């Protein structure tokens, strides 16, 4: 592989002259520039990304700021990332994942101050997210995959949680369910102002109230054990529940396990619908989960395209879009009281609290 020294020898110039041609740091005569470029072409020399960035004042690197815990990325989160990465690559950019959350503003300030990022995408957005203020202060272009409480002057793409929850509740109500429990994210996640958890909580109340039904939400830790505990609490508070709506992929498998442990059939005794879920996750369950399928890949792509418009045109035009999840009916939802057969034909529904 050719080096900068090889180019300098071929062109008959110093290494520093080759560097000046690449970076534009000093004026170089047209004749000398032509010799250097010709030598680069003959040697098939590929300048590194840093040198190209210095020449264009761009790094061609986009940062995806997404906090992660020990569980890493699930299939649904990965769809957001792959959609964004594909759009960045198609435009000649690299997407770098950085696990910086709302509580790590000092780390973000250090990263952004180095000017290594042409722009930033923010995921796991809180209603009051200090990362937004840091990036604005340092004039780093940004787009949210999610929404703060005040979106004035901010470009974002997000899930339409109002419509998504309404469609999920409507599906269960049409099947005949009247006692529906919503299993949300953890109490800490809600307390910290995580946008999706709060928006779905409010949307669930509105959707259930619109049908004249009492809403019951259970906050669950993001784990299978959290799902089992949430279901136990749900039966304690609503022994007649016939359907569970969940936006917690880690917990939903614990919910299914606890239902099986209690001898309750899905969907014959209790229907389960998972929200903001990828088809890959939905198909892992037995039965396969009826789900509100996440538009993650599309949101990731649109976010990058929006960010690049801000970067390339230095445009102040704000772009805001909501996309709903799409209902995909699989094997985990059906009319209430149908264990062992069609509605009304099966055996009596087991006692919810049975162990």
What is the gyration radius of the CA atoms in the chain, in angstroms?
A: 26
Q: For 63-70, what is the mean pLDDT?
A: 81
pLDDT band, residue 217 (cuts 50/70/90)? very high
289 with 321, same domain: the answer is no
DSSP 252-264: HHHHHHHHHHTT-
The residue among 165 and 113 whose pLDDT is bigger is 165
Give the pLDDT mean for 68-85.
79
CB 135 within 8 A of CB 142: yes
On whether both 110 and 226 belong to a single domain, the answer is no
Per-residue pLDDT at 65 exceeds 90: yes
What does the pLDDT average to over 134-145? 93
22 shares its domain with 73: no
Q: Are residues 314 and 272 in the same domain?
A: no
CATH number for the domain harbouring residue 28: 1.10.260.40
Q: In terms of domains, do 174 and 289 share one?
A: yes
In this prediction, residue 187 carries a pLDDT of 94
Model confidence at 339: pLDDT above 80: no
Contact predicate 307/344, CB 8 Å: no
In which domain, by residue range, is 47 found? 4-56
Residue 336: inside a domain = no
If asked whether residues 147 and 206 sit together in one domain, one would say no
The last residue of one of the domains, among 293, 308, 338, is 293
Segment among 68-77, 98-107, 213-222, 316-325 with least mean pLDDT:
68-77
Rounded to the nearest 10 degrees, the angle between the axes of helix 130-137 and helix 105-113 is 20
Residue 152 shares a structural domain with residue 301: yes
CA–CA separation, 85 and 77 (whole Å): 13
pLDDT exceeds cutoff 60 at 349:
no
Contact 244, 234 (CB under 8 A): yes
Q: Give the span between the Cα atoms of 308 and 189, in whole angstroms.
A: 31
pLDDT average, residue stretch 218-226: 95
pLDDT of residue 101 exceeding 90 = no
Q: Angle between the 195-210 and 161-175 helix axes, to the nearest 10 degrees?
A: 40
Would you state the pLDDT for residue 350?
42
pLDDT tens profile 315-328: 568 999 999 999 99
14-36 per-position pLDDT tens digit: 988 887 777 665 788 888 988 98
pLDDT of residue 145: 95
Phi and psi torsions of 140, nearest 5°: -95, 120
Compute the mean pLDDT over every residue in the chain, rounded to the nearest whole number.
Answer: 87
Using a pLDDT cut of 90, give the percent of the chain over it.
64
Residues 154 and 300 in one domain: yes
pLDDT at 288 (0 to 100): 97
Structure token pair of residue 170? 């409507």
Of the candidates 193, 208, 106, 105, the one whose C-alpha atom is nearest the C-alpha of residue 146 is 193
What per-residue confidence (pLDDT) applies to 344?
A: 32
> Is residue 348 in some structural domain?
no
Look at residue 208 and tell me if it is in a domain. Answer: yes
Same domain for 170 and 47: no
Q: How confident is the model at residue 353 (pLDDT cuts 50, 70, 90)?
A: very low
Burial of 1 (0-12, 13-18, 19+ CB in 10 A): exposed
Tally of domains in the chain: 3
pLDDT tens digits, one per residue of 229-256: 999 999 999 999 999 999 998 899 999 9
CATH number at residue 86: 3.40.50.2300
Q: What is the pLDDT of residue 33?
A: 85
The alpha carbon torsion through 346, 348, 349, 353 (nearest 10 deg) reads: -150
Mean pLDDT within 216-239 = 96
The answer to whether residue 170 scores a pLDDT higher than 70 is yes
* Residue 334 pLDDT exceeds 70: yes
Q: Are residues 117 and 220 in the same domain?
A: no
In-domain check, residue 352: no
Residue 74 reports pLDDT greater than 80: no
Of 165, 178, 289, 184, which Cα lies nearest the Cα of 241? 178
197 pLDDT band (50/70/90 cuts)?
A: very high
Specify whether the backbone of 267 is left (phi greater than 0), alpha (psi in -120 to 50) or beta. Answer: alpha
Assess if residue 355 is contained within a domain.
no
Banded model confidence at residue 73, pLDDT cuts 50, 70, 90:
low
* Residue 336, strand partner residues: none
The predicted pLDDT at position 345 comes to 32
pLDDT of residue 115: 78
Q: Tell me whether residue 82 is in a domain.
A: yes
Do the domain assignments include residue 80? yes
pLDDT at site 340? 39
Asked whether residue 332 is assigned to any structural domain, the reply reads no
φ and ψ of 327, to 5 deg = -70, 125
pLDDT of residue 343: 33
* Statement to judge: residues 101 and 176 lie in one domain: no
Looking at residue 352, its pLDDT comes to 39
**pLDDT tens by residue, 285-310:** 999 999 999 999 999 999 999 999 99
* Element spanning 15, H or E: helix 15-23
Helices (H), the chain: 4-11, 15-23, 30-43, 49-56, 75-90, 105-113, 130-137, 161-175, 187-191, 195-210, 224-237, 249-261, 279-282, 296-313
CA distance 289 to 271: 9
Task: Pick the last residue of a domain from 237, 270, 293.
Answer: 293
């Amino acid at each position: 592989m050719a080096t900068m020294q090889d180019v300098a020898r071929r062109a008959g110039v110093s290494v520093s002259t080759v560097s000046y041609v690449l970076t534009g740091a000093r004026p170089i005569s047209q004749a000398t520039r032509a010799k250097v470029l010709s030598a680069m072409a003959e040697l098939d020399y590929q300048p590194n990304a840093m040198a190209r960035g210095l020449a264009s004042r761009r790094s061609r690197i986009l940062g995806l700021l997404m906090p992660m815990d020990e569980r890493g990325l699930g299939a649904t989160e990965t769809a957001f990332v792959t959609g964004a990465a594909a759009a960045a690559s198609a435009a000649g950019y690299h997407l770098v994942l950085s696990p910086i959350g709302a509580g790590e503003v000092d780390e973000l300030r250090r990263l952004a101050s180095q000017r290594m990022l042409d722009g930033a995408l923010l995921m796991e957005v809180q209603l009051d997210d200090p990362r937004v203020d840091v990036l604005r202060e340092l004039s780093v272009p940004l787009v949210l995959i999610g929404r703060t409480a005040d979106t004035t002057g901010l470009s974002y793409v997000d899930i339409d949680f109002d419509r998504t929850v309404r469609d999920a509740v409507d599906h269960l109500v049409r099947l005949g369910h009247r006692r529906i429990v919503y299993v949300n994210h953890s109490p800490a996640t809600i307390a910290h102002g995580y946008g999706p958890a709060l928006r779905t909580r409010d949307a669930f109340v509105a959707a259930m109230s619109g049908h004249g039904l009492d809403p019951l939400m259970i906050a669950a830790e993001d784990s299978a054990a959290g799902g089992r505990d949430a279901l136990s609490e749900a039966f304690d508070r609503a022994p007649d529940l016939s359907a569970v709506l969940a936006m917690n992929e880690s917990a939903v498998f614990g919910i299914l396990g606890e239902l099986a442990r209690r001898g309750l059939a899905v969907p014959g005794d209790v229907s389960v619908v998972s929200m903001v879920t990828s088809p890959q996750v939905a198909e892992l369950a037995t039965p396969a989960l009826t789900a509100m399928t996440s538009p993650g890949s599309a949101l990731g792509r649109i976010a990058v395209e929006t960010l690049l418009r801000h970067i390339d045109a230095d445009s102040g035009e704000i772009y805001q879009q909501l996309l709903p999840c799409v209902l995909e009916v699989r094997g985990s939802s059906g009319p209430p009281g149908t264990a062992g057969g069609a509605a009304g034909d099966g055996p009596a529904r087991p006692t919810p609290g049975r162990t």
